[in-house]
Structure 1
Amino acid sequence: MATVKAVLRKKRNPEGQYPIAVRITKDRKSSYLGTGQYIEEKYWDEKNRCVRKSHPNANIINNFLLTKVAEANKKVLEAENNSDYQTVKMIKKNLRQNKKVDFFVVADLHLKNLKDREKHHQYDTELGRLKKFKSFLRKNELSFNELNVPLLRKFETYLLHNKKRSPRTVVNYLILIRTIYNLAISESLVDRGRYPFGKGKVQIRIPESQKIGLNRKEIKKLESSTDLTEAQQKAVDVWLISFYFAGIRVGDVLKLKWSDFYDNRLRYRMNKNSKLVTLKTPDKAISIFKKYRQNSPLNNDLIFDYLTGTDLNDTQKVSIRTQTVTRNLNRHLKKVAAKLGINKKMSMHIARHSFGNISGDKIPIQMLQKLYRHSSVTTTINYQANFIHKDADDALDTVINF
C-alpha cells in the first residue's frame, strides 16, 4: 500500500530555508513532488506534517499542502485500483502529466523567491521582461508543452528586429526563461524530456561586451573640474569615491557611513554578495570626505545624503531610491563629460571599468581579484582581459614594423 505525506526536505537553499514536498512511498521506495514552498526549519511541525501557526502564512500554506496531498492520494488510489502494477515513479509521472503547468505560474514563484531574497532590482527587471514576453505571446498563459524551440526562435527575432534589442539583452531574456524552466523541473512540475535548451536546441551564448573605462588624463579632468553646478560636482565626487575604492558599486557608495571608517580603513559589507571588504582609505578620498564631513548633520551617519530619510532596513525602498539616484547621477555625469571634453559615455558603472583600464596588467591577478571582490579568479581574468592590450599591441608591432 502506498502512502502520501507532506515532508520538509533537508536540502537548504542559500537563504537558509527548506523545501516542503509531498512524499509518495510504495514498496519501500519514495519519490518527491515539490510544492514550491520554502520555510525555516523552526516553522515545520514534524508530528502533524504541517506548518506551525507561528509562521505568518501558516493557514495559506497548510491549505495549499492539503490540496497537494489530496491530489497525490487520489492518484495513489487510482493506481492501487488499477489491475496493472504501477511503481512509485509511474504514479509521480501520472501526477505531472495530468496537470497542465502554466509557465507564468512558475514565473510568479521565481519572482516571489527574488522578493524573499530581497533582490528588488532584479525583481523589477525580470518582471518587466516577463511582461514583454506576454506582450509577444498576446496571452497571459503558456503551458510548458508550448514553450518549444520554434517559439523561442520567434521570440529572439521579435526582440532583435521588432524591438531593436541588443544581442546581450536578448540573451538576458532567454536566461530568464531557462531559469524558470529549470525551476519547474526542480520542483517536479514538468519533465526534462521537452527541455528546449542545449545542444541542437536553443543554445545561450553570452556575446562579448566591450568595457570601456576612462584613462588617467580623463580622470585628472574630473579631479580638477571647476565651473560645475553643485549637483554635478557632487556626482563627480560620488564617481571618484567609487573609483578610488577599486570601483565599488554605486549602491554601496550611497550607503557608506562615517562609522564604516576607522584606523584609516574602510570596512563594509558588499550589497551584491554580502562579502566583507576592508580597504585603505586613499588620501584623495580623504580630501573629498573632508568636504562632506563639515556639512554632515550630527544625527546623520551617511556620508552622502542621497538616502537620507530612507529606511535603510527596508531593502525594497532602498533599492527603488538607489535606482532613482543612479539615474540622476548618470544624467549629471553625462553633462560633466560634455563640459570637460570627455568623449566616452559617462556613468557610475564605468568607475569600475576605469580602475580596470588603468590597472591593466600592472597588478597581479590575485590582488585584483581581492580588490574587485570576485569569488573566482576566472571572473577576474575574464574581466581584466577587456583592458590588457600590451601583448597584442607588441605582437602587432613585431609584424608590421619592418
Structure 2
Amino acid sequence: MQGEELFPVRKLSDIFTYQINFIDSLVGINYTISTLRKYKRTYEILKRYMKRNYDVEDLRLDELDFKFIREYEAFLRTNYTMQNNTVASTVRRVRSVVRLAMNLGWLSHDPFIALKMKVDEVYRDYLTSEELSRMCSKTFKLKRLATVRDLFVFSCYTGLAYIDTVKLQLDDVFTGEDGEQWLQSHRSKNNNRVRIPLLPPALKLIKFYQDDPRTPVGKLFPPISNQKANAYLKEIAKAVHINKKLTYHIARHTFATTVTLTNGVPIETVGQMLGHKSIKSTQLYARVTDKKVKIDMDPLKARYEGQELGLEKEY
C-alpha cells in the first residue's frame, strides 16, 4: 500500500529483547547467568538514557547516530559511579547488539564506526609464593572455612574459575599419555576447552574430598554458593594475615603468575591451560614478578661477572 514501508520499523527494544531472549535460552550452555544480567542491566540503563536525553521510551534503529553514542558514553560517566573500563564494557555491549541488528538486516549503517575508547590497564592482584604457602598450611577448625580455603587453593593450582571448579565431575579427571593425572573441562564463560596436568596439591585435594559425605555422587567437591564462598574468603584472609581482598579471580591470577609463569612455564602454555584463545587475554592475568626477572637475569649476571671496565678515577 502506498505510504507504507515495505519492512517493519525495528527499534532498540526489538534488538535488545531479541538478544536478551537468545542469551537466556542458552544460559548454562553458551552463556552464564552473569552475562544475561549484564545485558539486562545495560538495556535498563539505555532506557533511562533515552528517557532523560530524548524524552522517549524507545528509538528507531535508523535514528541512531554518533551523537547518540557519544552522549550515551557521557551519560554513563556522569550519572553512574562507573570506572572507565566499566563504561567501556557497557558501551561495548550496546555496540555488539547494534551490530547484531546490522547482521540481521535491521540497520544499514554503523553509528559506532567513529567511536574510539581507551581501556585503562588494570593491576590484577595475586598471591605471592609466601602467601600461597601460608594459605595452604593454615589449619581451620570450622569446616566451612576449610572447604572454601581448599577450593581457593585448588583454583590456585589449576587456574580454574570458581564456577568451573564446583561443577567438576569425576569423569573430568583422566590418565594422560604420560601416565599422569590430568583434568579436562570446558569453561562456563565461553565453552573453551581446558586440559591441565594436575599438580600434587590439586590431586591431593581431589582425593581428600572423595571421602567427604558432602560431596555429591560423581562430583569432585562439595557444593557451596559463590556468594558464601566470597564472604568466607574475607574471614580466611584475616586468619592467614593476607591484606588483600581475596576472590577466586585472585586464585586464577595466582596460577598464571606465581605457580606457572614465575616457575618458567611459557605464557603460551599458561594461556592454553587458562582456556584463552588469545595470548592478549593471558597477558592480563600473568605478571612478570621480581623473582622471575631474577631467575632470568642470573645467567646474564654470571656472564658479565668478570667484565673488565676501563675506569680511572681522577683526583
TM-score of the alignment, normalized to the shorter chain, above 0.5: yes
Do 1:356 and 1:387's aligned partners in 2 also have CA atoms closer than 8 Å?
no
Q: Bigger radius of gyration, 1 or 2?
A: 1
User: Match of 1:291?
Assistant: 208
Q: 1:280 aligns with which of 183, 190, 197?
A: 197
- Structure with more contact order per residue of length (Cα contacts < 8 Å, sep ≥ 6): 2
Deviation at 1:215, TM superposition (A): 0.6
- The letter for the 1-side match of 2:143 is E
1:221 aligns with 2:122: no
Aligned residues: 280
Is the 2:253–2:285 contact (alpha carbons within 8 Å) kept by the matching residues of 1? no
Equivalent-residue separation in structure 1 for 2:71 and 2:193 (angstroms): 44
Structure-1-length-normalised TM-score = 0.62
Q: Give secondary structure in 1 for the equivalent of 2:24.
A: helix
Aligned match of 1:368? 270
The correspondence of residues 83-162 of structure 1 with structure 2, limited to 5 A, is 95=6, 99-118=8-27, 119=31, 120-138=33-51, 139-162=56-79
Give, as a single letter, the amino acid of the residue that structure 1 aligns with 2:243. Answer: N
Counterpart of 1:345 in structure 2 is 245
- Which amino acid letter does the alignment assign opposite residue 328 of structure 1? K
Tell me by how many angstroms 1:146 deviates: 4.2
Q: CA deviation at 1:338?
A: 2.0
Q: Which amino acid aligns with 1:357?
A: T
Stretches of structure 2 that go unaligned for 5 or more consecutive residues are 176-180, 298-315
| TM-score, reference length from structure 2 | 0.78
1:364, distance to aligned residue in structure 2 (A): 1.6
C-alpha displacement of 1:337: 0.9
Task: Tell me what 1:203 maps to.
Answer: 116
Tell me the percent identity: 21
| Equivalent residues of 1:252, 1:270 under 8 A apart | yes
Identify if the C-alpha distance between structure 1 residues 154 and 115 changes in structure 2 by more than 3 Å, giving closer, same or farther: same
CA RMSD, Structure 1 to Structure 2 (Å)? 2.9
Residues 296, 303 of structure 1: 8 Å contact kept: no
5 Å matches for 1:2-401? 95=6, 99-118=8-27, 119=31, 120-138=33-51, 139-192=56-109, 195-199=110-114, 202-227=115-140, 229-245=142-158, 247-263=159-175, 264-296=181-213, 300-306=217-223, 325-358=225-258, 359-360=260-261, 362-381=264-283, 383-384=285-286, 386-387=287-288
Quote the offset at 1:227 in angstroms. Answer: 4.1
Please state how far the C-alpha of 1:145 moved relative to its aligned partner: 4.3
Partner of 1:85: none
> Which runs of no fewer than 5 residues in structure 1 stay unpaired?
1-73, 80-93, 308-324, 395-402
Flag the 1:127–1:198 CA change in 2: closer, same or farther, 3 A: same
Q: Is the 8 A contact 1:104 1:140 kept in 2?
A: no
**Aligned equivalent of 2:307:** none
Structure 1 residues 263-313: Cα deviation after superposition (integer angstroms, max 9, x where no partner): 333232333333443333322123323332222369611222317xxxxxx
Mean CA deviation greater in 283-292 or 335-344: 283-292
Assess if the C-alpha contact under 8 Å between 2:61 and 2:106 holds in 1.
no
Whether contact under 8 Å (1:212, 1:353) holds in the other structure is yes
Report the CA distance between 1:228 and its aligned residue: 5.2
Displacement after TM superposition at 1:391 (Å): 6.2
Q: Which has the higher strand share?
A: 1
